[in-house]
Amino acid sequence: MLIETLSTFPHMYDSVMGESMMKRAQEKGILEFRAHDLRDWTHDRHRTTDDDPYGGGAGLVMKCEPIFEAVEAILGKKFVEAKLASAMGESGPGGLASSSTMVEFGGDAGCPDRASSAANETAQWAVSQSEDCLSESGYPAAPPQGESQQHRPQIVFLAPQGRPFDDAYADKLAAADHLLFICGHYEGIDERVYALADHVISLGDYVLTSGELASMVVIDAAVRKLPGVLGAADGPVDESFTSGLLEYPQYTRPADFRGMRVPEVLTSGNHAAIARWRREQSLARTAAARPDLIVAAEEAGRITPADQKFLKLLEPAPTGAAEGVS
């Protein structure tokens, strides 16, 4: 797998990618990693990657030009042309051809330099509230036709409007051969850049100082899924979220530490009893901390009759019953 990043602070990846599993994955030839500096595609002496937002407001917005030029240099101009054709609806159904979602390209202006310039308030890149680079559902346009989603490069953005990231999404990214993460900063990225997106992902309802940090989380979650990355072959199989539930409690030596003993069943040697205990602990932990996962597991048919019986035992008794009142 080849993973590339495009950001203004590429050296932030040095420690993460140079240690532990990520380092071993690269040494084994499972992973190839490249961090690109977005400033290499700027053309002014200040190496500017951001500008004031149209319409005013706090913060700065990352500019179109360096990002598009960088992606063209990394993945090729034909790749970018195909992505834009798809976003513009020129590749058929699934793009952004409808009048409610199409980006209007006009004239020879490209992306304006100074968002605060009054002369550019009617810029040729006219993007109305409903005419953005994503579909109205918030998801990227369909990929260019004629190429496998798995084998072609896929571009990933981290943004609040993205799809919530979870273990299933990590599986999806791990199946790709080539990922390029475009990392935002400041107030955000010019909306037109999302015409390049294959994935727009959100880590949660909070804000980070940089897209590099968010991308590291996603990269780690995906790379550890690759065969050979973890020491144990079943390492990524029996853990939280792979079954749709939180993982059961784990213990190791010593069996008794400062009066806190390991549950006796785990030292019994009775594998059937251990498996049952672990399943029940997983159910109990999930019901207490993430009841939404229990609901999802029920809807997916992952909760057995035995599980249902155990979950019933966890429900608080009716007030009258607890007091012995009929």
pLDDT in tens, 72-101: 999 999 999 999 998 887 544 444 433 233
Q: How many helical (H) and strand (E) elements, i.e. helices and strands, does the chain have?
A: 10, 10
Ramachandran class of 47: left when φ > 0, alpha when ψ lies in -120 to 50, beta otherwise? left
What is the rounded distance in angstroms from the CA atom of residue 251 to the CA atom of residue 267?
A: 10
Residue limits of CATH 3.40.1280.10 in the chain: 2-223
- DSSP string across 223-286: HTTSTTSSSSTTTTTSSTTTSSSPPPP---S-SEETTEEPPGGGGS--HHHHHHHHHHHHHHHH
Mean pLDDT of the 48-69 span: 94
Q: Which amino acid is at 78?
A: K
Which of 74-83, 127-136, 203-212, 269-278 is the least confident region? 127-136
Which letter does DSSP use for residue 39 in this model?
A: G
User: Residue 143: helix, strand or coil by DSSP?
Assistant: coil
Residue limits of CATH 1.10.1270 in the chain: 256-322
What CATH code would you report for 256-322? 1.10.1270
CATH class of 2-223: alpha beta
pTM of the model: 0.75
Q: What are the φ and ψ backbone dihedral angles of 269, each rounded to 5 degrees?
A: 80, 0
- Reference 158, options 194, 130, 184; nearest CA is 184
Cα radius of gyration rounded to whole Å, the chain = 25
Mean pLDDT of the 178-197 span: 93
Which of 132-136, 175-179, 268-272 is the least confident region? 132-136
In sequence order, the β-bridge partners of residue 178 are 2
Instruction: Report whether pLDDT(142) > 70.
Output: no
Per-residue pLDDT tens for 288-303?
Answer: 999 999 999 999 999 9
Per-residue pLDDT tens for 192-244?
Answer: 999 999 999 999 999 898 899 999 999 999 999 999 999 765 555 555 667 78
Residue in this structure with the two tokens 């058929």, named with its chain if needed: 92
